[in-house]
Chain A
């Protein structure tokens, strides 16, 4: 059994314990305790130890106090998911000058969140505002707006904005009315029209920060990889992009990074004239764009290397 690293006390330590042990101990049935999961950290507990069998066949010993039913694990994870990371305000900057529709961001996101192939939480658009203006590829994740219309219109509070700026969806609360999908002006949400056929992997409890697995009849969207942020790791699309198009960071630290380059956010905005998509809609998005000047590759390269199925999408792309 891995040595438990002492982390911060309180709720988030419980979460990190669940994560570490999650892979090792099945959440469904542990030594005949159906529906149980291990949770807790450094709990002296009752001292009474129980031997559990993990899915890979190893015998582990856990304090009885630290065993809770899965339902409570999920409740704790959901509570943490609503609170978010303290003292942070996450932002993303996307450099349109470098994007060439490699679609690695889409693939990494789909893989990381167990999405069916036709669900794209980050989507690539080929836009051209006017026939005299330049065409460009626009990667569009959820903007995690500061005045989110989607959150305002949700009748049951299944989607919420937390203090660190991230907007999440609780798959277990969503009733599938799709009002949030009409509320979002950026078409950032997808709906599970049929059973996606994805099972929760063993050892995982439902967590809105990963939002896996997708559930039929509910809404899904980009979550800024909130689960990775807890480990101080960058979101999946950021690390997957071969061109380093997507930068991510904390506004309060005034720093964004794409994995290779780390720059000061205010300087980046000032020097490269960053802007937000449709600022006049007033939703105050947290994703900024850098205009596509001095392109590294011509726009057409984005259509050359891709599947025909994908490039067919853009046959009508152009000024509207």
Chain B
């Protein structure tokens, strides 16, 4: 028996090597797609947005509740960990002044990483962005509305104008943003475009104008918005006493006709019933008269 022990041990370990891994590899892990973007909103607040999704049957689905680790790419130090929401998005607020080291060309480097778990593989993503300051000024000349955009990026303490980038101007609407113009920055980092004057606004003519530099490989996503009375005042209200077939209050002629008809008919009924009552009264009187006479 002792002679066969090594053989038995060898076979058992061989079987374990085959069986155990095959059990744990029953379901293939999901390969996710991790995207990292840099945003700066109109109040100069910068933030990182990382989206974790996967694709199945040609549909893109979010991965919620996953932990994303944000890091400063150049130093490798961890910034924070955020959990993705039900749309697979994790956001990290960087604040007004991003005090992180830049490299020689003035780029920050950011990284986001998803460590992975039993069902999903890990993934990471890195971006390098430069800071950009965007200014938007509204001006009126001969009743033509103009928007002037100026962009510059700091480099070694100096403000260098940003040229050749396309900034799209939108108007904020209920469900989305309506594009109204596109401005290409010239060599001085400036561009002026005309703003259409037939955009409907709220009751007072207010509209929110948003200028966006979108998904730029160098500068990320920069946004600047302003609310101005450049829209056409629009107000809409239906008078509550609107009389129609489909409203609460019926047309006057209907009420009048119905009332007249009902009053007329039921009036006649009333008259007929009065006659019946009179017959009854008369018969009672006659009966008592007969009884009196007999």
Contact = CB atoms under 8 A, between A and B. Distances in A.
Given A89-B236, A163-B237, A262-B179, A249 B246 contact: no
Interface string B125-161: 0000000000000000000000000000000000000
Nearest to A250: B174
Interface string B243-281: 011111000000000000000000000000000000000
B177 A87 contact: no
A234 interface: yes
15 contacts: A87-B202, A87-B203, A87-B234, A147-B244, A147-B245, A147-B246, A148-B246, A152-B246, A160-B248, A233-B175, A249-B175, A250-B174, A253-B174, A254-B200, A257-B176
Interface in A223-237: 232-234
Interface in B177-194: 177-179
Interface residues of A, number: 27
B-side interface mostly: loop
> Which of B177, B236, B248 lies at the interface centre, i.e. has the most chain A CB atoms within 10 A of its CB?
B236
Given A87-B203, A163-B237, A252-B200, A264 B246 contact: no
Nearest to A233: B175
B23 interface: no
Interface residues of B, number: 21
A255 B173 contact: yes
A157 B250 CA distance: 12
A249 B174 CA distance: 8
A151 B173 contact: no
A136 interface: no
Closest 7 CB pairs of A and B: A152-B245, A151-B246, A257-B176, A262-B176, A255-B173, A152-B246, A255-B178
Interface in A247-268: 248-250, 252-255, 257, 259, 262-264
A248 B246 CA distance: 24
A88 interface: yes
Contacts of B203: 87
B234 A252 contact: yes
Interface of B: 173-179, 199-200, 202-203, 234-238, 244-248
A161 B247 CA distance: 7
Interface in A140-182: 147-148, 151-152, 157, 160-161, 163
Interface string A77-90: 00000000011110
Interface of A: 86-89, 147-148, 151-152, 157, 160-161, 163, 232-234, 248-250, 252-255, 257, 259, 262-264
B139 to A, nearest CB: 24
A224 to B, nearest CB: 12
A161 B246 contact: yes
A36 B179 CA distance: 47
B236 A87 contact: yes
A253 B246 contact: no
Contacts of B236: 87-89, 252
Nearest to B245: A152
Nearest to A90: B174
B237 A253 contact: no
> Which of B178, B199, B202, B245 lies at the interface centre, i.e. has the most chain A CB atoms within 10 A of its CB?
B178
A97 B211 CA distance: 32
B229 to A, nearest CB: 16
A232 B174 contact: yes
Contact of B175 (A87, A151, A232, A263): A232
B245 to A, nearest CB: 4
Contacts of B234: 87, 252-253
A254 B238 CA distance: 19
A163 B173 contact: no
Contacts of A86: 237
B209 to A, nearest CB: 14
Given A89-B236, A163-B238, A252-B234, A257 B173 contact: yes
Nearest to B232: A254
A88 B202 contact: no
Contacts of B176: 255, 257, 259, 262
B235 A87 contact: yes
B174 A88 contact: yes
A187 B234 CA distance: 34
Contacts of A254: 199-200
A253 B173 CA distance: 7
A234 B173 CA distance: 12
A206 to B, nearest CB: 21
A250 B173 contact: yes
Nearest to A153: B245
Contacts of B177: 262
Given A234-B175, A262-B179, A253 B200 contact: yes
A304 B58 CA distance: 18
A148 B246 CA distance: 7
Given A152-B245, A249-B175, A263-B178, 15 more contacts: A87-B203, A87-B234, A89-B236, A151-B246, A163-B237, A233-B175, A249-B174, A252-B236, A253-B173, A254-B200, A255-B176, A259-B176, A262-B173, A262-B176, A262-B177
